Amino acid sequence: MKALLILAHGSRKKESNDEVVKLAESLDRTENSGFGKVLCAFNQFSEPSAERQIDILAGLGATHITILPYFIAGGSHVTEDIPRLADEARQNHPGIDFKVTAHLGAFEGVKDLIMREVGV
């Protein structure tokens, strides 16, 4: 089973984290996404942690976990913390194939998304 983990910075504001939770739930409900399960996790200020969610996905039988750094730009969380977290996850779950994608802000489609949503 292929799983997706949306990993966000996390905020002290619950409503802010709830936006990420809702996105993950919406993706999880999406038919034909190719992912058997979509969860989210937070680096800071909020639970659940990536480690906990990866354990849950492993328990659900995930064989591939794609980690999406849900960040605007590539600060130290993206360049250091998340790759380290993925390395630790590989050691803890040797039977699972982990992949870390580009962070959201680096996605090719961001420019088109902006033009579609705010274009005049």
Would you tell me which residues interact with a second copy (CB under 8 A)? 2, 4, 6, 8-9, 11, 13, 15-17, 19-20, 23, 26-27, 30, 33-35, 64, 66, 68, 70-76, 101-102, 104-111, 113-120
Given a contact cutoff of 8 angstroms between Cβ atoms, the answer to whether 79 and 86 are in contact is: no
- H or E element at residue 29: helix 14-29
Q: Which is nearer to a second copy, 27 or 58 (CB)?
A: 27
Q: Which is nearer to a second copy, 74 or 91 (CB)?
A: 74
Taking the complex as a whole, the smallest distance from the CB of residue 64 to a second copy amounts, in Å, to 8
Comparing CA positions, the residue from 97, 103, 62, 104 lying closest to residue 82 is 103
CB atoms within 10 A of CB 7: 28
